């Protein structure tokens, strides 16, 4: 069951996270949940059998991924499927976050998740608009203790996820299907992806958690 009339900001975020989470099991479904924070199904398309390739023509001037380098004049973004691209900063480059909240170039950091709208000119790529997404972390649950989830990333690093009454949990039940979940569902050995922010101790305050029960 799909919910219609999704906002443009939700659609853009869904496209961004779909690219960022490429290569992760059930990436597209998890990305949709983390991007919107709701259980809305992806927007319907006119094609009978939609595929990621069918969405690309509409967003050929967009590139989503993780910031790997940045200075005052340019930013480099890495995408799991498409590699890295470097975008030059312009006087007209706009930076936003959240629901089109105006931001600044200085708020773009290494490991930020971004979606860049750009134009190609004279052999270079110029950033027109950059949307800063929520930081995310993915991996396998090592342990759960109270409101703390220890997650082991693919790089073998342990990250402490802190959850609270405001954290939203979503269980992925199938392709484009999910339902509300809870902390009680989380156990060692399962994979999950969380979106949120790092605190001063470098623990991760999770706002959204998406996972599969199997």
pTM of the model: 0.54
C-alpha dihedral (81, 153, 38, 167), degrees to nearest 10: -160
Task: Report pLDDT digits (tens) over 147-169.
Answer: 999 999 888 889 999 999 999 99
Q: What is the DSSP letter of 212?
A: -
Angstrom CA distances, 129 to 63, 88, 93, stand at 11, 11, 6
Q: What size, in residues, is the chain?
A: 214
C-alpha dihedral (20, 50, 175, 134), degrees to nearest 10: 20
Asked if the model's pLDDT at residue 42 lies above 60, the reply is: no
43 close to 50: Cβ distance less than 8 angstroms: no
66 belongs to a structural domain: yes
- The answer on 88 and 103 residing in a single domain is yes
Asked if the model's pLDDT at residue 212 lies above 80, the reply is: yes
- The answer on 115 and 69 residing in a single domain is yes
Number of domains in the chain: 3
- Residues 6+ positions from 185 with CB-CB distance below 8 Å: 169, 171, 211, 213
User: What CATH number is attached to the domain comprising 125?
Assistant: 2.40.50.320
Residue numbers of the domain that contains 21: 8-58
Average pLDDT, the chain: 77
Q: Burial, 116: exposed, middle or buried (Cβ in 10 Å; 0-12, 13-18, 19+)?
A: buried
- The answer on 112 and 95 residing in a single domain is yes
Task: Report pLDDT digits (tens) over 64-101.
Answer: 988 999 999 999 999 888 899 999 999 999 999 877 88
Residue ending a domain, choose from 80, 114, 133: 133
The pLDDT-based confidence of 59 (bands split at 50, 70, 90) is low
């Amino acid at each position: 069951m799909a919910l219609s009339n999704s906002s443009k900001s939700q659609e853009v975020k869904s496209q961004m996270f779909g690219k960022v989470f490429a290569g992760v099991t059930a990436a597209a479904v998890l990305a949709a949940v983390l991007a919107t924070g709701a259980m809305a199904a992806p927007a319907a398309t006119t094609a009978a059998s939609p595929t990621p390739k069918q969405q690309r023509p509409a967003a050929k001037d967009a590139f989503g991924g993780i910031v790997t380098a940045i200075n005052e004049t340019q930013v480099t973004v890495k995408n799991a499927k498409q590699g890295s691209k470097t975008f030059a900063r312009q006087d007209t480059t706009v930076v936003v976050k959240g629901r089109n909240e105006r931001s600044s170039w200085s708020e773009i950091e290494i490991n930020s998740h971004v979606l860049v709208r750009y134009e190609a000119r004279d052999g270079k790529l110029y950033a027109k608009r950059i949307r800063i997404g929520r930081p995310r972390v993915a991996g396998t649950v090592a342990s759960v203790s109270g409101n703390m989830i220890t997650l082991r990333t693919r790089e073998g690093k342990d990250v402490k996820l802190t959850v609270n009454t405001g954290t939203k949990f979503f269980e992925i039940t199938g392709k484009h299907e999910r339902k509300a979940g809870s902390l009680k569902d989380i156990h060692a050995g399962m994979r999950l992806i969380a979106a949120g922010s790092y605190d001063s101790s470098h623990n991760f305050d999770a706002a959204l958690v998406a996972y599969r029960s199997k």
